[in-house]
């Protein structure tokens, strides 16, 4: 029996007012500080932190089109690659600061995402996934083949970024990467709750409703892809600037697979799930030496387990736990609403 006595929600209280943005921002900041503290040690740790941030931006870039809007357009290696190569080209060919590569990469990858999105707008599911994977292969081959432009298999150097006469150190880049992930994560979390986010999520389940409400579902899809590609491209730029090189092998299909799985592992209900997934990938593949070669295999198995048994991901496991804790606490507090 559903109770009919539930009062209609009071006016003026937006459901968002109850969402504690400050708490989320602070919790994420604490996490960011922990990352920075970790990265303040040996130099290789800074590479790990930037790799985590790169993967985070990749997964965050996929968050709107893939998790929220349900599009399996998968050519994300291209967007990352464009970000890195834009920094490389602008710094070695034009001699400008590689920071200029960031906006150039954003515009270029968003443009390619729009073209690819328009070209595949009638495809969904397996066919969209397949044809965008073919595009991803063709992109990697392009990097290997166009030696005059991309440097071929050895890639091309990316100069350290500089601005106003100051050349950024690796440590600076690491700090910048962490701050960037923090900002993008928060913005996406807010975006998810906004009308745009609601419409994009409705498009995933009930596309006819979006259309019959007078909103072009195709336009929503293409814009989501463009925004996602731009975020991914920034990740690629960071990766290139940190490593000092842009190479084809960094932008193969494996990163697409990682990117598909990261948000599922961490949890789909929040962009932070994607970040958690990124941390786990890097920990599994590089940090757990006992797993040595099998790190990626363990990651793959973890994914299968999560898909099968915990469809809401690790953050999803936290919610019932939290609910249980609150219930226990409420049960004990006098006057609390025991159940």
Partner 1 sequence: MDEILLSCSNVSKSYGGVAAVRAVGLELRAGEILGLIGPNGAGKTTLVDVITGQQTADTGVIRIGTVSLTGPPSRRARLAGFARTFQHPQLALDMTVRENILIGAVPDRFSSPWRVLASAFSGAARPATPEIDDRITDLAAELNISALDRMCADLTLGEQRLVEVARALLRGPTVLLLDEPFAGGDPRGVEGMIHALTRIVERGCGVLVVDHNVDIVASLVDRLVLMDQGQVVFDGLPTAAMASQEMRTVYFGSGT
Partner 2 sequence: MPVQLWVSVVELGCFAGLIALGFFLVLRGADVFMFALGPLAMFGAMFGAFQVSRNGWPLPIAALIGVAIAVALSGLTELLIVRPIHRRTGGQENPSIVAIVAILFALEQLAGTLFGRTPLPGTPFWSAQFRWGEAVISGQSIVLVAVTVLAFAGVALWLRRSANGRMLRAVGDNEHAARTLGVPVDRIRLIAFCLAGLLAGVAGSLFAAKAGVSFTSGLQWTLVGFLAVIVGGLGNVWAPLVGAVLVATLQTWSVFEFGHAMRDYLTFAVAFLFFAFRPKGIFQTKVRI
Q: Footprint of partner 1 on this chain (CB under 8 A)?
A: 2, 4, 6-17, 64, 187-188, 190-191, 193-199, 201-202, 204-206, 208-217, 219-220, 222-223, 226-227
Cα 65 to Cα 200: distance, rounded to the nearest angstrom: 8
Residue 288 is classified by DSSP as -
Nearer to partner 1, 9 or 321 (CB): 9
Closer residue to partner 1, CB minimum distance, 21 or 298: 21
Site membership for partner 2, residue 301 (CB under 8 A): yes
Under the criterion CB under 8 A, does residue 120 sit at the interface with partner 2? yes
Q: Choose from partner 2, partner 1, none: what does 226 bind? Cβ within 5-8 Å by kind.
A: partner 1
Which of these ranges, 3-11, 16-24, 99-107, 256-264, lies near partner 2 under the rule CB under 8 A? 256-264
Total residues contacting partner 2 by CB under 8 A comes to 39
Token reading at 335: 């006057």
User: 9-18: long-range contacts (C-beta < 8 A, 24 or more apart)?
Assistant: 16/193
Question: For 246, phi and psi rounded to 5 degrees?
Answer: -115, 115
Instruction: For the CB of residue 286, give the shortest distance to partner 2 in the complex, in Å.
Output: 15
The CA distances from residue 188 to 87, 162, 289, in Å, are 25, 28, 33
Smallest distance from partner 1 to CB 183, Å: 10
- The residues pairing with 29 across neighbouring beta strands, listed in sequence order, are none
- Residue 260 touches partner 2, criterion: CB under 8 A: yes
Q: Minimum Å distance from CB 268 to partner 2?
A: 11
Measured from the CB of residue 48, what is the shortest distance to partner 1 in angstroms? 28
Measured from the CB atom, the residue of 46 and 270 that comes closer to partner 1 is 270
Nearer to partner 1, 216 or 333 (CB): 216
338 makes contact with partner 2 (CB under 8 A): no
3-class DSSP assignment, residue 252: coil
Given partner 1, partner 2, none, residue 275, with its beta carbon under 5 to 8 Å by kind, binds none
Helices (H), the chain: 21-39, 43-62, 76-92, 101-119, 125-145, 147-150, 170-193, 195-205, 207-212, 217-243, 253-266, 271-282, 295-309, 313-332
Distance between CA 11 and CA 140 in Å, rounded?
54
Q: Any idea what DSSP says for residue 167?
A: E
Backbone angles phi, psi at 92, to 5 degrees: -90, -40
Q: Is residue 119 at the binding interface for partner 2, with CB under 8 A as the rule? A: yes
Q: At what angle do helices 43-62 and 170-193 cross, to 10 degrees?
A: 20
Q: CB of residue 65 vs partner 1: minimum separation in angstroms?
A: 12
Contacts (CB under 8 A) with partner 2, residues 302-331: 303-304, 307-308, 311
Partner whose footprint covers residue 17, from partner 1, partner 2, none (CB < 5 to 8 Å by kind):
partner 1
Task: Compute and round to an integer the Cα radius of gyration of the chain.
Answer: 21
Token readout for 268 is: 């789909």
Nearest in space to 155 (alpha carbons), one of 87, 56, 100, 109 = 87
Q: Is 62 in the site for partner 2 (CB under 8 A)?
A: no
Two tokens, residue 154: 């050895």
* Partner whose footprint covers residue 87, from partner 2, partner 1, none (CB < 5 to 8 Å by kind): none
| CB of 70 or CB of 103, closer to partner 2 | 70
Contact in structure between 155 and 245 (CB atoms under 8 Å): yes
Kindly state whether residue 145 participates in binding partner 2, applying the rule CB under 8 A: yes
Among 129, 199, 310, 312, binds partner 2 (CB under 8 A): 129
Binding positions for partner 2, rule: CB under 8 A: 70, 72, 119-120, 122-127, 129-131, 133-135, 137-138, 141-142, 144-145, 253, 257, 260-261, 264, 293-294, 296-297, 299-301, 303-304, 307-308, 311
């Amino acid at each position: 029996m559903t109770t009919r006595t539930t009062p209609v929600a009071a006016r003026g209280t937006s459901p968002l007012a109850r969402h504690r943005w400050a708490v989320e921002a602070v919790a994420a900041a604490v996490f960011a500080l922990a990352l920075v503290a970790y990265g303040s040690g040996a130099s290789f740790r800074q590479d790990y932190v930037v790799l985590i941030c790169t993967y985070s931006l990749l997964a965050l870039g996929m968050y709107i089109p893939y998790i929220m809007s349900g599009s399996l357009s998968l050519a994300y290696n291209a967007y990352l690659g464009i970000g890195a190569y834009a920094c490389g080209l602008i710094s070695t060919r034009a001699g400008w600061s590689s920071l200029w590569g960031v906006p150039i990469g954003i515009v270029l990858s968003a443009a390619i995402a729009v073209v690819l999105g328009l070209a595949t707008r009638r495809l969904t599911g397996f066919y969209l996934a397949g044809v965008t994977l073919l595009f991803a292969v063709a992109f990697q081959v392009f990097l290997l083949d166009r030696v005059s432009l991309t440097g071929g298999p050895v890639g091309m150097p990316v100069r350290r970024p500089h601005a106003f006469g100051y050349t950024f150190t690796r440590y600076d880049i690491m700090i910048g990467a962490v701050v960037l992930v923090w900002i993008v994560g928060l913005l996406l979390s807010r975006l998810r709750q906004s009308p745009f986010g609601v419409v994009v999520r409705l498009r995933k389940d009930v596309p006819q409703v979006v259309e019959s409400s007078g909103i072009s579902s195709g336009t929503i899809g293409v814009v989501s892809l463009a925004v996602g590609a731009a975020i991914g491209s920034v990740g690629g730029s960071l990766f290139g600037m940190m490593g000092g090189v842009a190479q084809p092998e960094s932008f193969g299909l494996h990163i697409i697979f990682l990117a598909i799985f990261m948000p599922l592992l961490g949890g789909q209900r929040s962009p932070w799930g994607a970040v958690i997934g990124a941390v786990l990938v890097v920990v599994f593949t590089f940090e757990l030496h006992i797993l040595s070669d099998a790190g990626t295999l363990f990651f793959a198995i973890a994914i299968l387990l999560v898909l099968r048994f915990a469809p809401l991901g690790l953050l999803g496991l936290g919610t019932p736990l939290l609910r249980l804790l609150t219930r226990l606490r409420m049960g004990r507090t006098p006057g609390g609403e025991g159940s």
